[in-house]
Structure 1
Amino acid sequence: MALVRSDWRDRLRAAIPTGVIVGGLGYALVLGLGIAPSPSGPSEALDSFDVTPPKPPPPPPVRPKRIESHRPRGAAAPPNIRSQATPVVAPPPLVVLPPVSPVIAAPVAGTGADPSQGASDKPGPGTGAGGIGNGTGSGGSGDGDGYGDETPPRRIKGRIKDSDYPEAAADAGASGTVQVRYFVNVDGRVSGCVVTKSSGNAALDETTCRLIEQRYRYDPSRDADGRPVRSIIVVNQDWVLERLPAER
């Protein structure tokens, strides 16, 4: 069996009717859809806008619930019955004050005794020469004003005995003179004793002031009207250790 090849002219003659049929079907489809092609594009542009949802309705008003009272009507309530103030109580603040250093001062300006004068806690040359005075004279026989119209204090009770000698000082063989200054209060008692000149032994110094404050009592100094006033006294206390002769 021999294969016969078709000529290109035959293929062209067969393709022409097929193209006519396909073009007719496309034209019919365009007419059926009613689309009119426009070479210049769409005539009107599409507009865009936002759609805002409507506001929700306001909530219904809240009305307080009315509570019926069983109290009788027509009369006012008694005062301070239904309402009481809340007590507010604050504890007192704790204030810690710093320690205050003692200030040595004389109760009367310019007072002094013996070689010391004024309110210094150290002995000085002074200008007095006996007794106690508030001036710069020399006691009873000087040209100062001395006590003036005041009467000096007078000791009426108390003394330091030989048996009061401190054992520590006796064992150490210590002796000497202690100069002290103290106050005589209006009730005749002694306070504020300080050592103005040490004996060189702490036991002798401490014992002197302690016994004076414990034992000494005075008829206090009095002013011109006879009223008791506070005064200052400076005295020397001698501590002498008696030594027994050595046995032969």
Structure 2
Amino acid sequence: MISQGARWGWLSPAVLGLGALAVLGLVGLAVVERRIARPLIDPVLVTNRALAATNALTLFLGFVPYAFYVGLPLLLQAPGPGTGAIGQGLGVTATGAALLPGAVLVFLGGRFTPWLLGRLSGRAVAAIALAAMCVGGLGIALRPASLLAVILFFSLVGLGNGIGFAVIAELIAGHVERSGLGAALGVNGVLRTVGSAFGTPVATLILTSVGVAASGAPGAGGFRALFLLAAAVSALGAMLAFAIPARRRS
């Protein structure tokens, strides 16, 4: 439904029907799982305040990077200065090199997280991670025609993403009994995939419907709208982080 929505039409019978079917399936799963002695997914893992907020953060962390994974290669390979466009006219190899620092900082962010957790609460670290991604999105939205700005601000997005995913595991472990930790991490992993699954079609929809150039290529308005959306979702996630209870399991 998500991947075909733009092609079929978001209000088409097929999309609406699949959406209704998905909702019914989710309701049916909740009803069944509440009635059996050993549920596949314990309802507590979804309804508990701490876990619900943490899982919502995971959705955001899965969604936001894909706005950049889809948008930045198109931006960097679009016609460059002197053509009236805001792209850089880079080739595939140069584009990969420009995005490499952001990918490296995803790894370094994860390695840096234990140091942060030794000094701050898990929810504060999560808020910092989402705030870093918000600043990165805003920076690229404001300076999409600057290659240096794109590299620097995307690196900030990568750093925040790496910290965010590392701290999520810590937040879950701090609010779940050891016997339920595997199930909680499994549900969280699925939600991360769901967030990522939404990222690509939403990014594509924005780039193909907002500020499209006469040639049919994504225009400056579409790129700015996409990165501003990523920044807004990140800002919402930073605020949501403080909905996670501060007291941890002993």
> Under a length normalisation based on structure 2, what TM-score does the superposition of the two structures give?
0.20
Larger Rg: 1
Larger relative helix fraction: 2
Larger relative strand fraction: 1
Q: Which has the higher contact order (CA 8 A, sep 6+)?
A: 2
